[in-house]
Amino acid sequence: MKHYEVEILDAKTKDKLCFLDKVEPNATIGEIKSMFHRSHPQWYPARQSIRLDAKGKSLKDEDVLQNLPVGTTATFYFRDLGAQISWVTVFLTEYTGPLVIYLMFYFRVPFIYASKYDFTTSKHWVVHLACMCHSFHYCKRLLETLFVHRFSHGTMPLRNIFKNCTYYWGFAAWMAYYINHPLYTPPMSMISFLFLSSVRSATFPSTLLSATSVHQAPRPERSPIQPRTPSPGFSCWSPAPTTPMSWAPGSPSH
């Protein structure tokens, strides 16, 4: 059986970073990344981009060496993707922020509103209902992240977490500021508001629970290694209306 020689060059400077001798022909790019990591511990596999051309696309971890358009002496180019974090960490960070931020406004901790309102409570029951709905929603998302969803072994650049959190955390703060403001009053006549709030309060838990069941249904078909499309049927299209329905305009959370 012939073996390969693999050299890995820096994609920017073209300097040789690593030379691997007697590499098995059925070795995958993922295995080559692990070998490279042993020579350069600062670059763990998740932050490596290995490519055939310095400006080309990254090769997949499952690509096999002997199936690539290279000779017995293969040359690859390396790019550092930067610090990486797992998808579980990404979603836990995104969803924990809105939960904590909203509760800070709800309890009116100091330095948010005027000092005379510190740790006071709203006289409007719908404000408390909105807090319960919002907290339930993000607690559900956190639990789904931990116990329902399956994520690939892929990662996301650490720098992107700041952009993602700005959206989730910023929107939660903007929404919570007005809903929990000491001067907040219901935006419509009390009779209409009570009726609409009652309807939304009744549909909110059922729609969120429906979304949870839809997420749970295709779970056995998901693999952390190879993503798969769920089997055709109700679960393919039903998630679309459930979450918008639970947060529809006029619900207590708006």
Q: What is the reported pLDDT for 237?
A: 45
Q: In terms of residue numbers, what domain contains 172? A: 86-246
Reduced to 3 states (helix: H, G, I; strand: E, B; else coil), residue 120 is coil
User: Rounded to an integer, what distance in angstroms lies between the CA atom of residue 149 and that of residue 233?
Assistant: 19
**In a domain? residue 187:** yes
Q: What is the reported pLDDT for 216?
A: 58
Residues 111 and 223 in one domain: yes
pLDDT tens digits for 184-213? 987 765 555 555 556 655 665 666 666 666
Q: What is the reported pLDDT for 235?
A: 44
**In a domain? residue 252:** no
**In a domain? residue 56:** yes
Q: What is the reported pLDDT for 107?
A: 97
**In a domain? residue 28:** yes
C-alpha dihedral (59, 65, 69, 72), degrees to nearest 10: 140
Residues 218 and 168 in one domain: yes
Full-model pTM: 0.68
Single out the residue in 51, 82, 113 at which a domain terminates.
82
Residue segments in the chain with a per-residue pLDDT below the cut of 70: 1, 152-153, 188-254
Q: What is the reported pLDDT for 233?
A: 46
Residues 140 and 198 in one domain: yes
**In a domain? residue 254:** no
Tally the domains of the chain: 2
Q: What is the reported pLDDT for 207?
A: 63
Single out the residue in 30, 64, 82 at which a domain terminates.
82
Residues 128 and 234 in one domain: yes
pLDDT tens digits for 38-80? 999 999 999 999 999 999 999 999 999 999 999 989 999 999 9
Q: What is the reported pLDDT for 251?
A: 40
CA quadruple 173, 175, 178, 179: dihedral sign: negative
Q: What is the reported pLDDT for 70?
A: 92
Residues 126 and 191 in one domain: yes
Residues 58 and 90 in one domain: no
Q: Which residues have C-beta within 8 Å of that of residue 248, sequence separation ≥ 6?
A: 200
Residues 203 and 155 in one domain: yes
Single out the residue in 49, 82, 115 at which a domain terminates.
82
